[in-house]
Amino acid sequence: MERGYSKLDVTLTAVLDCSSSVSSSVKIYTKTGDKGKSSTFTGERRFKDDLIFDALGSTDELSSALGFAAELCKEKGHTMDNRLQTIQCVLQDVGSNIATPKSSASETQLKRTGFNDQHVKDLETWIDEYTAELPPLKNFILPSGGKTAASLHMARSICRRAERTVAPLVRHNEMDPSALQYLNRLSDFLFTVARYTCMKEGGEETIYKRPVS
């Protein structure tokens, strides 16, 4: 591994500077995490089960789920696959914010990885857009409605978990509250587009019915 860089440094440099020169010149394995610790963007070494890395892992898992859902959307001709990919990029920004704890960050680092709350407003606009085409929701529904809808429901539930991992970091003033707001709004967006894809594909939502013993 090139001296002075951690795996996280390389990822953030590529994301923030849109540069491939750093990421292409280093190996994917660093061996620096073999003893159960990893580095934040501020240079701290923390255990891998630290709140920061738990949150980073959850948002990464969410991005993977969104990537899968986007591919299914594309196969079915839904136009929101581009929006899902945009969301994946925004989640990279969420990750950068998570990886830069305020307690150890410099002003320069905080400015570099700050989260833009305009992303929250964008989600709200999209939610309103899709909701306008949907029939009113009168009952609890189960995650279902076809493969596309089910994949979006899966991403939604992962998003809820990611939100729970970010919440304590915001509570301890280690990251921007707007990033937490984004995850909260994102789960609403995913619920909405899951219903939307079900409708567009002619699927049927499964209504919750209390089991009778």
For the segment 123-171, what is each residue's pLDDT rounded down to a tens digit?
999 999 999 999 999 999 999 999 999 999 999 999 999 999 999 999 9
Q: Buried b vs exposed e over 34-55: b needs ≥16 C-beta within 10 Å?
A: eeeebbbbbebeeeeebbbbbb
- Terminus-to-terminus CA distance in the chain, angstroms? 61
Contact by Cβ (8 Å): 154, 61: no
Identify the pLDDT of residue 1: 35
Identify the pLDDT of residue 174: 96
Per-chain mean pLDDT for the chain? 89
Tell which wins on pLDDT, 7 or 138: 138
Q: What is the mean pLDDT of residues 82-106?
A: 96
Domains of the chain: 45-131+141-201 (1.20.1200.10)
Kindly report which listed range (36-50, 98-112, 153-167, 169-183) carries the lowest average pLDDT score.
Answer: 36-50
Q: How far apart are CA 74 and CA 149, in angstroms?
A: 13
The CA-atom distances, in angstroms, between 54 and each of 25, 28, 69, 156, 162 are 28, 21, 23, 18, 9
The single residue listed with the structure tokens 């159960």 is: 36
Identify the pLDDT of residue 35: 80
Whether 16 shows a pLDDT value over 60: the answer reads no
For the segment 158-209, what is each residue's pLDDT rounded down to a tens digit?
999 999 999 999 999 999 999 999 999 999 999 999 999 999 999 999 999 9
